[in-house]
Chains A and B, each alone.
Chain A
């Protein structure tokens, strides 16, 4: 009896924190999304599901959603592709490990704004790192590419973003790879497994739980993606770079403009929440495997 009470007592702070900092705000988010509200003063007009209907008919919302999904899937493909490539390099013991590690870990210790500034320099049409390098090695026609022109800017941003995030997922995956005993790979070497076969038959299945967690973390990050594309847009974020997170911010908080539609912005937030939830459930179902012991 006393034990039970103690359990309640010990769980109470965590439950209160969880309820107060997560559940309550989530519920109130949905509540606010049913109103038109500027955020100034108390004037809130109940509009039912109108904000959602409006979202459905809003070109910019679909554009933001498309960009967000492009980050999630295309960006995710490259983030994990690079992260896995590096883990393969590690298991093959190839030269240059430390160099790659430095290159990939750097963005984790530098501020987003500084990183965006660095990439602006890299992409600059005339004096940028890429184009000057290209023209130095004689690729003059390629050196004229405008990486940040409106047709390219999203992909330019995504390339930089992939670089920013790869390091973090590398840390997670490498921690998982370190857990795999080396003699497992040696046994495979003796059986004649190629680099690719070792990756596919050993690394991937033995890394499964770490991969699942990494995918979930990436998914959450991608859906709420804000800081980097925002910083990449400097003074004014071009619409080509809008993500759901940025569009939410623009609609709820204005950027330089007095757009103060908190109710509408909140509806975008609810969509993001639902999207995250659905995708995680789907992904966890697809990736479910039994626990491994090694």
Chain B
């Protein structure tokens, strides 16, 4: 595919609020029909990036392209995007039909066409029985559907969702998540979705863009990011409970493997390309689910602090001999008493090794 036919492209986009840079040299391209999640902690610039795409904020430098067309200075309405706001931004004085049809109304679309399209969108979202109601007579979930309906009816090139689930309760959130994914499969438009919730990102995205402090940290499919994080930030941001980060001392580094010391214990990990000298401190990342109760001595010895039973699995919070904490996610139901000692085996292929700057030494750039 040529560059011109990407659904969306950002080239070196920067944005300043006064002196503060909130977006720093963003490069991003999105294929047609992709569901892309912009993920990051609050203040990382993900919402600002989305508002720039929508045209609600002006960029200070760089280019924005939609379907190959430069829209950097184009008015929001002319960009052919639709946005679902976190607050839904419904017009409180209009009923559902008027809310959904607002864009057509101000464009003087004929009445018959307008009501047909409004009805179609409403049917898709199963809110056709609510068309006469005002927003205040709707539940949170219904309001959200209206907001989505207002976007759908325009059939835009790109849908923009700004944390659309954050105002819903947990059960409804789960349900809506699934429905949104289904909706995406059904209508197939490109969607860009902003969230700070890594579960939403993991479950919905074709592609996740992890952002921090105005920069893109890594772009990839959910599993790529999970299995092959570029750095400590991405590694700890994805996954629940988060990756355990343990400080270790290099004992031996060779082509055959890397041996590190954790207190009295020794761990042998796959080799890295980097030069590591014995005695150097490295941080290793261990996913909670990469542990198993050891046969015999095991690789690591820990003391149990607290056990959380989830039924299908068990979370065990424990301590290494040198005081560092670990969280284990073990399958099934086990119940080691607090204070007891456990011998653990570690799935070596799932370990990550970070240098002093937090870069994952096992990151495989070719995977992208």
Asked whether A186 is an interface residue with its Cβ less than 8 Å from the other chain, the reply is yes
Q: Sort chain A's interface into a size bin.
A: 20 to 34
Say yes or no: is B107 at the interface (Cβ < 8 Å to chain A): yes
Instruction: Verify if B78 is at the interface (C-beta below 8 Å from A).
Output: yes
| A186 and B106 contacting across the interface, CB-CB below 8 Å | no
Q: Which of B84-92, B125-133, B178-186, B340-348 contacts A (4 or more CB under 8 A)?
A: B84-92
Known contacts A189-B56, A190-B54; is A206 also within 8 Å of B102 by CB?
A: no
B93, A183: Cβ atoms closer than 8 Å: no
Given contacts A190-B54, A190-B77, contact A183 B89 (CB under 8 A): yes
Q: Using known A-B contacts A191-B102, A193-B106, determine if residue A293 contacts B92 with beta carbons closer than 8 Å.
A: yes
Query: Which residues of A (155-206) have their CB < 8 Å from a CB of B?
Result: 181, 183-184, 186-194, 197, 201-202, 205-206
Among B75, B87, B106, point to the contact of A197 (Cβ < 8 A): B106
Q: Which one of A186, A194, A292 lies within 8 Å of B93 (CB-CB)?
A: A292
B102-A183 in contact (CB<8A): no
Distance in angstroms from B307 CB to nearest chain A CB is: 45
Residues of A contacting B154 with CB < 8 Å? Answer: 191
| A190 adjacent to B93 (CB under 8 Å) | no
**Docked-complex contact A190 and B92, CB < 8 angstroms:** no
**Contact residues in B for A294 (Cβ distance below 8 Å):** 92
List the B side residues contacting A191 at CB < 8 Å. 77, 102-103, 106, 150, 154
B304 at the A/B interface (Cβ < 8 Å)?
no
CA distance A49 to B135 in the complex (A): 55
CB atoms of A201 and B89 under 8 A apart:
no
Say yes or no: B77 contacts A205, CB within 8 Å: no
A186 and B56 in contact (CB under 8 A), knowing A191-B77, A192-B103?
Answer: yes
Q: Is the CB of A189 within 8 A of B91?
A: no
Give chain A nearest CB distance to B114 CB in angstroms: 13
Say whether B91 contacts A190, CB under 8 Å: no
**Interface assignment of B52: CB less than 8 Å from any CB of chain A:** no
0 or 1 for each of B91-123: is its CB under 8 Å from A? (1 = yes): 111000000001101110000000000000000
Q: Mark interface residues in A118-149 (1 if CB within 8 Å of B CB, else 0).
A: 00000000000000000000000000000000
Give Cα A173–Cα B348 distance, bound, in whole angstroms. Answer: 66
Interface-central residue, A181, A186, A191, A206, by most chain B CB under 10 Å:
A191
Given A191-B106, A293-B92, residue A183 in contact with residue B136 (CB < 8 A): no
Docked Cα-Cα span, A194 to B75, in Å, equals 11
B83 in complex: contacting residue of A190, A197, A202, A206, CB < 8 Å: A190
Chain A nearest CB from B17 CB (Å) reads 15
Instruction: Tell me which residues across on chain A come within 8 A of B105, comparing CB atoms.
Output: 201
B220 at interface by CB-CB < 8 Å: no
> Which residues of B are at the interface with A, using a C-beta cutoff of 8 A?
54-56, 75-78, 81-83, 85-87, 89, 91-93, 102-103, 105-107, 135-136, 150, 154
Q: A292, B92: Cβ atoms under 8 Å?
A: yes
Known: A189-B76, A190-B83, A191-B77. A184 touches B89 (CB 8 A): yes
List A contacts of B54 (CB < 8 A).
186, 190
A184 to B92, CA, bound (A): 9
The chain A residue sitting closest to B151, CB to CB, is: A190
Bound together, the chains give a CA A183 to CA B150 distance in angstroms of 14
Chain A residue with the shortest CB-CB distance to B160: A190
Given contacts A192-B106, A193-B106, A293-B136, are A184 and B91 in contact (CB under 8 A)? Answer: yes
* Contact partner, A190, options B82, B86, B87, Cβ 8 Å: B82
A206 to B91, CA, bound (A): 9
In the complex, which residues of chain A have a beta carbon less than 8 angstroms from the beta carbon of B91? 184, 187, 201-202, 205-206
Q: Which of B75, B85, B136 touches A186 (beta carbons < 8 Å)?
A: B85
Which residues of chain A come closer than 8 Å to B86, judged between CB atoms? 183
- Bound complex: CA A194 to CA B76 (Å): 11
Contact of B87 among A183, A194, A206 (CB under 8 A): A183
* Choice from A183, A184, A192, A206 contacting B77 with Cβ under 8 Å: A192
Q: Can you list 21 A-B contacts (CB < 8 A)?
A: A181-B89, A183-B89, A186-B56, A187-B83, A187-B89, A189-B55, A190-B82, A190-B83, A191-B77, A191-B106, A192-B76, A192-B103, A192-B106, A193-B106, A201-B105, A202-B91, A205-B93, A208-B93, A292-B93, A293-B92, A293-B135
**Cα–Cα distance between A181 and B76 once the two chains are bound (Å):** 18
Chain A residues near B150 (CB, 8 Å)?
Answer: 187, 191
A201 (CB) vs chain B CBs: closest residue: B106
Write the chain A residue with the least CB distance to B103. A191
Nearest CB on B from A209, distance (A): 11
Binary flags per residue of A16-42, CB closer than 8 Å to B gives 1, else 0: 000000000000000000000000000
A192→B85 contact, CB < 8 A: no
Q: Is the CB of A189 within 8 A of B77?
A: yes
Q: What distance in Å separates the Cβ of A196 from its nearest Cβ neighbour in chain B?
A: 10
Chain A neighbourhood of B83, CB < 8 A: 186-187, 190
Nearest CB of A to B44, in Å: 20
Contacts A201-B106, A293-B136 given; indicate if A187 touches B92 (C-beta within 8 A): no
Q: B residues within 8 A CB of A183?
A: 85-87, 89
Q: Which residues of chain A come closer than 8 Å to B135, judged between CB atoms? A: 293
B residues within 8 A CB of A190?
54-56, 76-77, 81-83
A25-66 contacts to B (CB < 8 Å): none
Chain A residues closer than 8 Å to B75, beta-carbon distance: 189, 192
In the docked arrangement, what's the CA distance between A293 and B154, Å?
26
Least CB separation from B81: chain A residue = A190
Q: How far is the CB of B54 from chain A (nearest CB, A)?
A: 6
Give the chain A neighbours of B107 by CB distance below 8 A: 192
Minimum Cβ distance to chain A for residue B139 (Å): 14
Report the minimal beta-carbon distance from B102 to chain A, rounded to whole angstroms.
5
CA of A184 to CA of B102 in the docked complex: distance in angstroms? Answer: 12
Nearest-CB residue, chain B, relative to A197: B106
